[in-house]
């Protein structure tokens, strides 16, 4: 039986360009664009002293900060991604890490980041934050 959990989610989107430099990716080896819908879900088994999982406005603000690091950028030219194949899975984990670093100190619980690549494909990364 699944553990009972409260969840709060926020959503935004980001437009990027990149290339996936491995023969595995066929035509996606060349530079192409992607628009990801980003879903971020914060979870915890109990509510905090204010009866919330996380303040929704603050969660949106944090997601907006991270979106600003990526939006309208060619990820092949972003220094932090040098030498990386910026797959959807890789980016979901990277965004998770960026959010986790910003919420430590006021949120402890689960965090799931899902990048919806289209209406038929997505990737996500999930793990704990804080303690």
**pLDDT tens sequence across 14-27:** 999 999 999 999 99
Measured distance CA(27)–CA(14) in Å, rounded = 22
Enter the tokens of residue 120. Answer: 């038929």
Measured distance CA(76)–CA(89) in Å, rounded = 16
Per the DSSP assignment, residues forming a β-bridge with 125 are: 113
**Domains along the chain with CATH numbers:** 6-129 (3.30.479.10)
Query: Greatest CA span in the chain, whole angstroms?
Result: 52
Measured distance CA(95)–CA(88) in Å, rounded = 10
- Specify whether the CB–CB gap between 70 and 110 falls below 8 A: no
Residue 3 pLDDT:
79
When pLDDT is cut at 50, 70 and 90, the band that residue 98 belongs to is very high
């Amino acid at each position: 039986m699944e553990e009972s959990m409260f969840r709060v989610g926020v959503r935004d989107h980001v437009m990027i360009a990149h290339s996936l430099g491995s023969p595995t990716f066929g035509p996606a080896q060349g530079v192409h664009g992607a628009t990801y819908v980003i879903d971020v879900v914060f979870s915890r088994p109990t509510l905090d002293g204010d009866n919330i999982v996380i303040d929704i406005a603050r969660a949106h603000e944090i997601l907006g900060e991270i979106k600003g690091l990526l939006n309208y950028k060619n990820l092949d030219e972003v220094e932090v991604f040098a030498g990386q194949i910026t797959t959807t899975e890789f980016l979901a984990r990277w965004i998770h890490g960026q959010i986790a670093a910003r919420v430590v100190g006021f949120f402890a619980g689960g965090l799931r980041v899902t990048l919806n690549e289209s209406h038929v494909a997505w990737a996500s990364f999930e793990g704990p934050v804080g303690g």
